Chains A and B, each alone.
Chain A
Amino acid sequence: MRLETRNISFGYGRRRILSEVSLLIEGGHIASLIGRNGAGKTTLIRIIMGFLSPDEGSVLIDGSDAISMKAEDRAKAIAYIPQYSSMVYRYTVLDSVLMGRAPHIGLFGHPGKKDIDKAAEALAMLGIEDLAERPCDELSGGERQLMMIARALAQDARILILDEPTSSLDYPNQLLVMETISRLREKGYSILFSTHNPEHALMVSDTIIMLGMDGKAVSRNPEELLDGRELSSLYGRKLCISRIETGKGERIVCVPE
């Protein structure tokens, strides 16, 4: 599935947050959204998800206008994984993942065998089927994030939007989530994630969307950022970008000067 935004502009009162932002994510591609605090990463995600209406511009899913789409149809196409889900009650992981089936179940319906199987399949795809009966407040940060991704997979949406999925995780769990995102690309998902860590963006992205403080977005592939100039200008710090050989292939890394 293809996700596209065309000339999205948005502001609060006189303050312009986004200015004519266009992006395109094809099926089986990962795009990352980077920029400083207040650049509008979360705002753009909220507009794509339909939580906010843009002042101008459109969001397209496979060419159809997502803003006028029925909420249920949109949820079948696009899933949202928040930074952190504050669950007040102790749902089991399975119950929580089952909630992803909501757009496929009628208003007064309850999940049936097919839905439970879908949820179990999503857990298995991420290798966390053993957690199914565990209350979600007993999960580690990484497990919790995987549970949220499993819910999105159970939703059967082919476009996944992740808002800073690694921000509250320790280093091994950050890598786990990045590797998971990378594996989902191989299964054909279109993925957009925002991050404060340019290294994560360079590690897995096909496209990196840089949101400047002027509200404008620039899309590049990681190769185009190797000279470090644009990333240094984005963050206001001199950054060095380099390729290193890990023994299992090349990685692009980013370090401050």
Chain B
Amino acid sequence: MRTTERRRKEVLAVLIIIYLAIFVLSFSIGRFPVSPIELMRILLSRILPIEKTWAAQAEAVVFSIRLPRIAVSSLIGAALALSGSIFQIIFRNPMVSPDVLGCSAGAGFGAALALLLGLSGLGVSLSAFIAGLAAVMIVWRIGSVMKGNHILGLILSGIMVSSVFQSATSFVKLVADPENELPAITYFLMGSLAGAGKDELMLIILPMVIAFIPVLLLSWRLNILSLPEEEALSLGIPVRMIRAIAIASASLMTALTVAVAGMIGWVGLVIPHITRMTAGTDARTAVPASVLLGAAFLTAVDTASRSMATSEIPIGILTSFIGAPFFLYLIIREGRR
């Protein structure tokens, strides 16, 4: 029985190494590559007295451009993967993704509306964030009316509210100026980290940490939420309260990702599957593992998106190209079992 415990620690150690390797490598790839050794020296120079042997430009690239962007991609990847994992556990359905409660659709509408009104940067992010959370609150309110099956109520109202917000986004696109606003809205909804910098990092870092902490603390109890409701209740845990905390945290994470990076699909669906395949189902391991895998995956894909072509490819397109075939593979594999 100790072997499982040891294996859990080993898996997490391997995932930390993979993440760190991708973190370092993503500095060395791009229009201004910074080698791993140089990167270490630049990073350490902030806390240790190290002789400056690098160009001032390298330091500016590391601290002003690449570090904020890698931090944002890591946070967003972690948030998408973790919120996907949470929703898949509490809705007892491995096909559920972070947008199940209408959060992405709401946030997408908020961003589109802000762009239509001529806002930019933080204005767009804040509008997306507020609309994303508003969508989840509406879903929660409607879902609560259905007394018998709370989870079914949430999923059905999630579909309905998503549909309304998607229609509203289409309407915004219809009335948007086709020269400037429409391309901006379309590009934003494709999902991109091109604009991710220090401001975006500062906007999301604190709420992200606030959303991550309760989930990490409650991770073992999330396992119990994956049981049928009456079984979970019979174990004496406050099922509804834990579920509400988990949904609030996951929705906050999803709204923040859309606010900063637009719609990045598939990460929240596929990474939880890969997590279960590599780290097992126990949420004590799966929660930190999905954070690490999501961060590693999105940072790697973002590095590819900014370096594969002369102009940056929206990351949402790349995650779809990778995620959809992988999901097809999962379906075929499951069918063969």
Contacts and interface: CB of A to CB of B under 8 A. Distances in A.
Contacts of A75: 234-237
A50 B234 CA distance: 8
A90 interface: yes
Contact of A88 (B3, B93, B280, B282): B93
Interface residues on A, range: 35 or more
Counting chain B CB atoms within 10 Å of each CB, the highest count among A46, A70, A103 belongs to: A103
B228 A99 contact: no
Contacts of B234: 49, 51, 75, 78-80
A71 B220 contact: no
Interface stretch (A2-10, A107-115, A189-197, A208-216): A107-115
A50 B233 contact: yes
Contacts of A120: 1
B266 to A, nearest CB: 20
Contacts of B307: none
B97 to A, nearest CB: 16
B284 A89 contact: no
Given A86-B228, A99-B224, A120-B1, A73 B92 contact: no
A91 B1 contact: no
Contact of A108 (B1, B3, B4, B218): B218
A133 B7 CA distance: 12
B226 A87 contact: yes
A82 B231 contact: yes
Contacts of A110: 219-220, 284
Contact of A91 (B223, B228, B237): B223
A110 B223 CA distance: 11
Interface residues of B, number: 30
A103 to B, nearest CB: 4
Given A85-B228, A107-B221, A92 B4 contact: yes
A70 B238 CA distance: 10
Interface in B63-111: 89, 92-94
Interface in A106-148: 107-111, 116, 120, 132-133
Interface in A200-239: none
A239 B24 CA distance: 78
B6 to A, nearest CB: 12
Nearest to B214: A108
Contacts of B231: 80, 82, 85
Contacts of A80: 230-231, 234
A71 B282 contact: no
Contacts of B282: 91-92, 95
A94 interface: yes
Given A82-B231, A109-B220, A133-B1, A89 B236 contact: no
Interface in B123-150: none
Given A73-B236, A75-B234, A133 B220 contact: no
13 contacts: A50-B233, A75-B236, A78-B234, A79-B234, A80-B230, A80-B231, A90-B280, A92-B280, A94-B1, A94-B4, A108-B218, A110-B220, A120-B1
Given A49-B230, A110-B284, 12 more contacts: A51-B233, A72-B237, A75-B237, A76-B236, A78-B234, A85-B228, A88-B93, A88-B94, A91-B282, A94-B4, A99-B227, A155-B235
